[in-house]
Structure 1
Amino acid sequence: MLPEYLVPGIFSGINNLVALQTTRNGGASPAPFNSLNFGKNTGDSAGNIRQNTVALCRSLNIAPDTLAGSDQVHGTKLLHVRQPGFYSGYDALATAEQGIYLCIYTADCFPVLLFDPVNRAAAAIHAGWKGTACMIVPKTITFMQQRFRSNPDDILAWIGTGISQAAYEVEFAVADNFSPAHYKATPSDNGKYLLDLAGANLEQLLRSGVPEKQIETSTFCSSRDSNLFFSYRRDAGKTGRMVSLIGLTPP
């Protein structure tokens, strides 16, 4: 079985761009990581993760040693990636180099992929509630403006699959980090709130100057769509990670 993944429509037609988010299907990992797991700190074996990585790269016709990722820490540090490899402490990666594929690992948090087709620059962002509250997406766009001369009017954005508002129940101490437009009381009125992280990131993209017509949001939910995605919350932490990837293949 081949690795399964979603391909964002917003990037269609861009020559040599690879952009995707994997599902949980088509890998080698056993339960509870079944089966296409890319999470290194999940309890799955390094051999299984390596096998899944090789299979995905083979299906994309890219080499495993061209990937760039990080052990994400729910912060806002951004790395300008000039060489592939696995880094430490970054939740956003950006590059204008061809042949480097930026990777973000998630299981409820939102992956946000950005591409500037004018300056041929890409970014991959890990947007959990902490990163979103601390404006990791606008900070990444500002970085792209400063480093790559990107114009937000040109940027294409994809908000990938994460946990939907209907499934994301949080305490008020978390919800209070966001505009009231992005949370509401639970139907049971149990003192908790349903948080719309996708909507919060969409608003931040728009406020950063990215046109609405150039933004796409996944319609899936990592928690609800259990046949397709890992969910840390649904599975009480014992689960795998999807990878979201973006990069330019050399012509």
Structure 2
Amino acid sequence: MPTAPGTDRSPLLRPRIFAHVPSVTAGMSTRHGGVSGPPYDTLNLGRHVGDTASCVEENRRRFCASLQTDPAWLATAGQVHGSTVRVIDAPRHEPFCDGLVTTTPGLLLAIAVADCAPVLLADPGHDVVGACHAGWRGTTRRVAAKTVTAMTDCGADPAQIRAYVGPCLSREAFEVGPEVASEFDDAVVSRPEDADRPHVDLKAALRRQLETGGVPSDAIEVSPRCTLRDTNDFFSYRAADGPTGRMLGAVVLRH
């Protein structure tokens, strides 16, 4: 298992793109600061991976507290690696979708990941926030662009949206088969001489998708962190090759 030296023992990463936006709070969990035992150690936030339920609930309570949000106001997506985006106005687990959008203050939109990318978005001027889960399938189905469209339908202006692409598989770590590579634009596919198969730059693909959707380039923050290469700080489905935890990327609109 890759074990790159940990660089952030904090249970929460704060996107800089939202740092000076009082009406929006956003964060991405790491694997630190929870109560779960191996292989979910320690801040597993996924209910569906085999961890003890009471540990997951305590971990979620801690995560929500770090974002100054009541766990009762948590909204999660029942992710299916698709591109369906739903607009919601109350806390719940929304099945069969990979994106959530809201105009409801206090509602914490959360996306579960362990190699796929969490994309967090906000138009603070028009009080609209969104979040989506983008693995390779969701990215090729334009889930990030569809989240921007759903936000626009709720009154957002793409030119005013800020976006954060969280830790996920890096280009160096994301080796795929030729059938997957063919689904992506050549601009985000590379074929390293020392690799047997193509590599996809998922982060670059998402950035391009957001820009095409009207989000300004300088309003997009892309995390440099790689989940597969830094398993000290992040859960990685590929690295674990078995049961592992899930992180949450989340965003909330303040009152």
TM category (shorter chain) comes to over 0.9
Match of residue 200 from structure 2: 195
After TM superposition, the structure 1 = structure 2 runs for residues 67-146 of structure 1, keeping only pairs within 5 Å, are 67-146=74-153
Q: 1:95 Cα deviation (Å)?
A: 0.3
In the superposition, the TM-score normalised over structure 1's length comes to: 0.95
How many aligned positions are there? 247
Match of residue 161 from structure 2: 155
Match of residue 178 from structure 2: 172
Match of residue 249 from structure 2: 244
**Which SS does the other structure have where 2:97 is aligned?**
coil
Deviations 1:77-127 (A, max 9, x none): 111111101121110000011010000000000000010021110000100
**Which SS does the other structure have where 1:132 is aligned?**
helix
Q: 1:189 Cα deviation (Å)?
A: 4.3
Q: Which of 16, 32, 36 is the equivalent residue of 1:29?
A: 36
Match of residue 183 from structure 1: 189
Q: 1:141 Cα deviation (Å)?
A: 1.0
**Which SS does the other structure have where 1:150 is aligned?**
coil
Determine if contact 1:3/1:36 at 8 Å carries over to the other structure. no
Match of residue 19 from structure 2: 12
Deviations 1:157-190 (A, max 9, x none): 1011101010111101001000111111243342
Determine if contact 1:182/1:195 at 8 Å carries over to the other structure. yes
CA-atom RMSD in angstroms? 1.3
Letter matched to residue 250 of structure 2: L
Q: 1:16 Cα deviation (Å)?
A: 3.5
Letter matched to residue 66 of structure 2: S
Determine if contact 1:119/1:149 at 8 Å carries over to the other structure. yes
**Which SS does the other structure have where 1:153 is aligned?**
helix
How far apart, in 2, do the equivalents of 1:247 and 1:163 lie?
Answer: 25
**Which SS does the other structure have where 2:44 is aligned?**
coil
Determine whether 1:231 maps to 2:224: no
How far apart, in 1, do the equivalents of 2:170 and 2:35 lie?
Answer: 27
Letter matched to residue 157 of structure 1: A
How far apart, in 2, do the equivalents of 1:116 and 1:7 lie?
Answer: 17
Determine if contact 1:4/1:22 at 8 Å carries over to the other structure. yes
How far apart, in 2, do the equivalents of 1:227 and 1:161 lie?
Answer: 13
Letter matched to residue 107 of structure 2: I
Q: 1:59 Cα deviation (Å)?
A: 3.1
Match of residue 207 from structure 1: 212
Letter matched to residue 168 of structure 2: G
Q: 1:18 Cα deviation (Å)?
A: 1.4
Letter matched to residue 126 of structure 1: H
Determine if contact 2:165/2:223 at 8 Å carries over to the other structure. yes
Letter matched to residue 92 of structure 2: G
Deviations 1:131-163 (A, max 9, x none): 0000111111111112x2221111101011101
- Runs of 5+ unmatched residues, structure 1: none
In the superposition, the TM-score normalised over structure 2's length comes to: 0.93
Determine if contact 2:158/2:213 at 8 Å carries over to the other structure. yes
Match of residue 71 from structure 2: 64
Letter matched to residue 209 of structure 1: G
